[in-house]
Amino acid sequence: MKLASTSFLEFSYPVMEHFYTIQGEGAHAGKAAYFIRIGGCNVGCPWCDVKESWEAEDHPNTSVAQILEWLQDSDATNVVITGGEPTMYDLNPICTVLKKAGYQLWLETSGAYPISGMWDWIVLSPKRRKMPLDENYPLADELKQVIVRLPDFDLALAESEKMNEHARLFMQPEWSREEEVLPAIINFVKKNPRWQISLQTHKYMQIP
């Protein structure tokens, strides 16, 4: 029996980087996961720590077949598709192949574009410059609101009201502002116990 159609295996994405590591953020922090970072993003957050992912043409087109080989050469069972902004592309081909191969698929997205593909976990991380589509809020399993400055708390509250009742809510300090905003985040979560704090623990562990 064929794993997937030839066309899906030949479908390609501009992959900026790929690596097997430990998820450092949010609900799955501490779990092993293989990251596929797809290039291309026009959201343009000034604090983005992977600005080199913004230009899709800077990164080689990589087939789904090659991505599957990377995964099979690792011990990974969980796969994170991230960016850039991966939902700028049709994600049905990669999801179809990887789901049939037995992988758990986690998506990280700003929600600014329609979500395609089949996902076991969707992280929605809203950005002021290009807000999520209304259709994406009920699909998300997790809201991750990055806090850069105090007005972001109001944004977080407004965004949480659009989420489904089962979604987990995480508030994460932007790495370069962590010392400044973390005390305010702690106080916020104490007053709003449905929220949890997410830290970029992979940076403390000095891993990708």
Residue 39: other Cβ atoms inside 10 A: 25
Q: Which residues of 3-13 are buried (b: 16+ CB within 10 A; e: fewer)?
A: ebeeebbebbb
Structural domains of the chain sorted by starting position, each given as residue range(s) with its CATH number in brackets: 6-204 (3.20.20.70)
Round to the nearest angstrom and report the end-to-end CA distance of the chain.
36
Q: pLDDT in tens for each of the 208 residues of the chain?
A: 344 566 899 999 999 999 999 999 999 999 999 999 999 999 888 778 788 999 999 999 999 999 999 999 999 999 999 999 999 999 999 999 999 999 999 999 999 999 999 999 999 999 998 999 999 999 999 999 999 999 999 999 999 999 999 999 999 999 999 999 999 999 999 999 999 999 999 999 999 8
Q: Where are the beta strands (DSSP E) in 101-203?
A: 104-109, 121-124, 142-147, 168-173, 195-197
